[in-house]
Amino acid sequence: MIALTLSEIAGVTGGSLRPGGGRDAASVVDGVVTTDSREITAGGIFVAKPGEVTDGHLFAPAAVDQGAALLIVERELDLPVAQVVVSDAVAALGALATLVVARVRALGRLKVVGITGSNGKTTTKNLLRAVLERVGPTVAPRASFNNEVGAPVTMLQLTEDTRFLVAEMGASGIGEIARLVRMARPDIGIVLKVGLAHAGEFGGIEGTVRAKTEMVTDLEPTDVAVLNADDPRVAGMAAHTRARVLWFGHGADAAVRATDVTVSAAGTGFTLHLASGQSRPVVFRVLGEHHVMNALAAAAAAEELGVPIDDIVSALESVQTAERGRMEVLGRADGVTVINDAYNASPDSMMAALKTLAQIARPGQRTIAVLGEMSELGEFSGEEHDRIGLLAVRLNIAQVVVVGRGARRMHISTINEGSWDGESAYVDTADEAFELVTATARPGDIVLVKSSNAAGLMALGDRLGESFS
C-alpha cells in the first residue's frame, strides 16, 4: 500500500484513532492490508471483519504477533497496537481502497481495467495480467478476489509505481458492482457474458443483466466499454453507457475477433484480429473453445492500453492453465487424462466443459464426466440440471457419474433421455465417485470433473489426477 498516516486512515474511514504500540496520528504505515491474520507481515494493517461463521476480532492478537502496525476494528481491543475504531469494517476497507486508488491515479500513470460477467472473470483477469505485466507493474487479484472484501484488498496493493490495476468485480446482488466501480473508477470496463450463474440470488436473468450493466453505466465518455458482441444481453448494454464501445466476438462485425478456431487436447488455436486491423495466429494452451472469448476480451483491453500485438500474443501463448481448478489438465497423456474444472460451475460453464470434453476426444477415446451440483440457481436449479443431463447424452459422453443429492436430477435426465444401461451412475459422495472412476477408467480415457465449488469436487479432481499420474 502507499504510505498513509494513521490520521489519514482514521479520517477516510470515519473512525476514531486509538494510538498504541509507539504509533500516533502522525505515524506512517505502508504495509499489507488484509482481513486474514495469517497474511499479516511487519508493518501491516489488519481489518477485523465480522463474518457469518467467526469474528475477525478473535484473530487480532495473532495479527499483532505477526507484526501488525494498525488494527481497523469495530470495537476497541485490549492490545498493545494502534487501532482505528469504525462502525463498519467492510465499509472502512472500501473507503481506504477508494482513497488509495485516487492517490495513485493522481500521479498520472495508473490505468484501471474492471472485469465482470457471469463466467470467465478470473480467466480473463489472469490473461490480462499476463499481458500487462510485460509492459509495466501490474496489480491483479489472486484467485477470485472479486467481492466487497477481496476487490478492495486487491486495490490496496497499489504503490506509486503501479501502472495497471486489473479489478475483477463479482456480485451477489444489485448495487455491488456499482460500489466496486466507484472505488476503482475503471478506464476500461469489460463485460464478458450474462448467464444463469447466481441467478437465484438476483431473482432471475433480468436481475443479473441489471447488476452486470453497472460496470458500464458510470464510465466517462473518455473511457472504453469492452462488450461481448455475441451475447445479446451484453450487447444491449451499449445503450446504457456514455463510454466508447469496443466489441469483441466471433462475428465479422466485432472489432476484436477470432477466426480459424481449432480445438484439441493440447489447447485451442485461432487467428486473433485486433481493432487496429492487425492479426496473428495464436497457439492458446488453455483448454476449451469458450476461453477464446476471454482471450479476445483481454486482447481488446490490452490493445487499448497500448500493448503491441506481438506482446499480446506472446503473453496469451505463455498461459497454460486458466486458473487452479479451471480446465486444469492432470494425469499423463499415455494414461488417464483428468480435467479438473470443479472450482465453480454455472449452466453455461458446465455446457462449455462438456462440449470441450466431447471435442477433444479422439475417435474411439472414451469420455467420462463426473458432475456435481450447480449452486445458487434458485428456482432454475431443477430445469438447468435436467438440461445438463440431456446434453451429456446428446454429446455421447461415454460415462456420466453424478455426485450428490443436489445434482441427482442430472442422473435421472440422462437415464430418461438415453435409456442407458449403466452409462450414468449416481453416488452420494466424492469418495464413492473416486472408487467408481478408479475401478472403471482405463488408459486413454479422458475424465472431466465439474461442479460448483460448494459441491466440493475440486479435491476429487486433484485426487483422481494424482491417482492416474
Sign of the CA dihedral running 251, 123, 130, 138: positive
pLDDT of residue 79: 97
pLDDT for 308 beyond 80: yes
Rg, Å, the chain Cα set:
23
**Domain segments of the chain: what residues?**
4-90, 107-318, 328-467
Q: How far is 389 from 438, CA to CA, in rounded Å? A: 22
Q: Which residue has the cell 485516487?
A: 102
For 103, the grid coordinates are 492517490
Burial 200-226 (b: 16+ CB within 10 A, else e): bbbeeeebbbbbbbbbbbbbeeebbbb
DSSP 36-47: -GGG--TT-EEE
Task: Give binding residues as ranges.
Answer: 117-123
Q: What is the pLDDT of residues 346-370, one digit of tens each?
A: 899 999 999 999 999 988 899 999 9
Kindly state the helix (H) or strand (E) to which residue 138 belongs, with its residue range.
Answer: strand 138-139
Mean pLDDT of 400-418: 92
Angle at 122 between CA 384 and CA 279, to 5 degrees: 105
pTM given for the model: 0.89
Q: Determine which helix (DSSP H) or strand (DSSP E) holds 3, and give its type and residue range.
A: none
Cα distance between residue 247 and residue 152, in whole Å: 28
107-318 fold: UDP-N-acetylmuramoyl-L-alanine:D-glutamate ligase (3.40.1190)
pLDDT of residue 83: 98
Q: What are the residue ranges of helices labelled H in 56-204?
A: 60-65, 89-105, 121-132, 150-155, 176-184, 199-202
- Residue found by looking up cell 487467428 in the block: 271
Is CATH 3.40.800.10 the classification given to domain 4-90?
no
Cα dihedral: 370, 119, 326, 447 (round 10): 20
Strands (E), 274-398: 279-284, 328-331, 337-341, 367-371
Using an 8 Å Cβ cutoff, are 177 and 212 in contact?
A: yes
Rounded-to-integer distance, Cα 216 and Cα 247, Å: 13
Residue 222 has a pLDDT of: 97
Which residues partner with 33 through β-bridges?
A: 45
Binned at pLDDT 50, 70 and 90, residue 418 comes out as confident
What angle, 0 to 180 degrees and rounded to 10, lies between the N-to-C axes of helices 291-304 and 121-132?
Answer: 40
Largest Cα separation within the chain, whole Å, is 74
Provide the pLDDT confidence category of residue 420 given band limits of 50, 70 and 90: low
Known binding residues for ATP are 117-123
308: Cβ contacts below 8 Å, ≥ 6 apart: none
| Among 264, 260, 469, 465, residue whose Cα is nearest residue 362 | 264
Torsion of CA 87, 154, 12, 177, to 10 degrees: -70
Q: Is the pLDDT of residue 311 over 70?
A: yes
Q: 328-467 adopts what CATH topology?
A: Protein-Tyrosine Phosphatase; Chain A (3.90.190)
Report d(CA 76, CA 222) in Å as an integer.
Answer: 45
Strand partners of residue 337 = 331, 446
What type of residue sits at position 333?
A
> Which of 50-64, 102-116, 189-203, 371-385 ranks highest by mean pLDDT?
102-116
Using the Cα atoms of residue 261, residue 267, residue 273 and residue 275 in order, give the sign of their dihedral: positive
What is the Cα–Cα distance from 74 to 60, expressed in whole angstroms?
Answer: 12
**Whether pLDDT at 23 is above 70:** yes
Q: How many angstroms separate the CA atoms of 251 and 395, rounded? A: 25
Q: What is the mean pLDDT of the chain?
A: 93
Which residues on neighbouring strands pair with residue 247, listed in sequence order? 227
Contacts of residue 400, Cβ cutoff 8 Å, sequence gap at least 6: 368, 369, 371, 389, 392, 410, 411, 414, 423, 424, 425
> Is pLDDT above 60 for 8?
yes
Nearest alpha-carbon partner for 146 in 85, 100, 198, 105: 198
pLDDT for res 118: 87
Exposure b/e, 31-56, CB count within 10 A at least 16 = b? bbbbbebeebeeebbbbbbeeeeeeb
pLDDT in tens, 69-92: 999 999 999 999 999 999 999 999
Which grid coordinates are listed for 106?
Answer: 493522481
**Structure confidence at residue 334 as a pLDDT band (50, 70, 90):** low
Q: Across 196-200, 279-283, 454-458, which has the greatest mean pLDDT?
A: 279-283
C-alpha torsion 345→346→347→350, nearest 10: -20
Half-sphere exposure of 314 (CA within 13 A, CB side): 9
The answer to which of 236-240, 250-254, 413-417, 429-433 has the lowest mean pLDDT is 413-417
For residue 198, the model assigns a pLDDT of 53
CA distance 23 to 21: 5
Are 346 and 195 spatial neighbours (Cβ–Cβ below 8 Å)?
A: yes
| C-alpha cell belonging to residue 221 | 465518455
